[in-house]
Amino acid sequence: QSGTKVCLCPFLPQQPLEVSTCLYVVQHPAEESRVLRTVPLLAACLPQGKCNVIVGRRFNEEKHPELAAVCRDDRTLILYPGPKSQNLEELAQRLEISAVKHNVIIIDGTWSQAKNMFLKNSMFHLPKQVQLNRNLSSQYVIRTQPSNICLSTLECAAVALSVLEKNDEIQEILLRPLKALCSFQLQHGAQVHHSKEHLLRNGMYDKPMPKNKRKIKRMEKLMTDHNVCPR
């Protein structure tokens, strides 16, 4: 029902969550105009200055000196899966991580937008690259994800913060407004969006198969690889 308004305030924490970690959400410009975004929910749960949103496709020292300084800081981690990524949980166990105030950079966009932004911005290659290995299926069922283990920006932030702050309650509190949003949308006619992986595995994928060899390979990988989000 278009025009039906929903207030998610009852599902937000009464006070912003006290965290020492500072988030930098690097957002693709296309995300700003999307109706169902998770970053505003994230920002509403955290103190001012702990969730910094920087919009753009290309970033450099001259135009973004603060972000460049964050990327050079050895306490900064960038959440992006890949062969060079370390498991954040293992890293947190190895280091005396709670004694350090970390910065975490998260790229907010579709999978292909995030990949493009990571590859084309050399400053994003400076921080330590980490990925999440928690067995968590996305609650964000009103927007299609490529695979079952791909998470929304809010979910990534929730897991990363709970690991770095050594407090699992953070994850639960941050996911509460997302679950409420999805529940409301489903009650008002939204459809459950299964991941592309789920549709392919269950013979429910009804779009024409791609002709591009690289895209075909990526879809085959979705079918066979359970551990990698296809960035």
SS3 229: coil
Q: What pLDDT score was predicted for residue 41? A: 83
In terms of pLDDT, which residue wins out, 56 or 210? 56
Mean pLDDT of the chain, nearest integer: 75
Domain ranges within the chain, ordered by starting residue: 9-185, 194-224
Position 77 scores a pLDDT of: 96
pLDDT band at 149 (very low <50, low <70, confident <90, very high): very low
Whether the pLDDT of residue 174 is over 50: the answer is: yes
Name the residue with higher pLDDT: 45 or 2.
45
| Domain 9-185 indexed as CATH 3.40.1280 | yes
| Predicted pLDDT of residue 145 | 41
pLDDT tens per residue across span 201-221: 444 434 565 566 665 565 455
Helix (H) or strand (E) holding 217: helix 213-224
Is residue 54 helix, strand or coil?
strand
Order of strands across the sheet that contains 86-87: 51-55, 22-27, 103-108, 76-79, 128-131, 86-87
CA–CA gap between residue 124 and residue 59 (Å, rounded): 9
Lowest mean pLDDT segment, chosen from 34-43, 86-95, 189-198, 204-213: 189-198
The better pLDDT of the pair 125, 140 is held by 125
pLDDT of residue 222: 42
pLDDT at res. 96: 64
Phi, psi at 159, each rounded to 5°: -70, -45
Per-residue pLDDT tens over the stretch 60-105: 999 999 999 999 999 999 999 889 999 998 888 877 655 678 999 9
Are the beta carbons of 200 and 225 closer than 8 angstroms? no
Instruction: Please choose, from the candidates 155, 57, 146, the residue with its C-alpha nearest in 3D space to the C-alpha of residue 110.
Output: 146
**Residue 114 binned pLDDT confidence (cut-offs 50, 70, 90):** very high
Tally of CB atoms within 10 A around 97: 18
Inform me whether the pLDDT recorded for 116 exceeds 70.
yes
Is the pTM value of this prediction over 0.85?
Answer: no
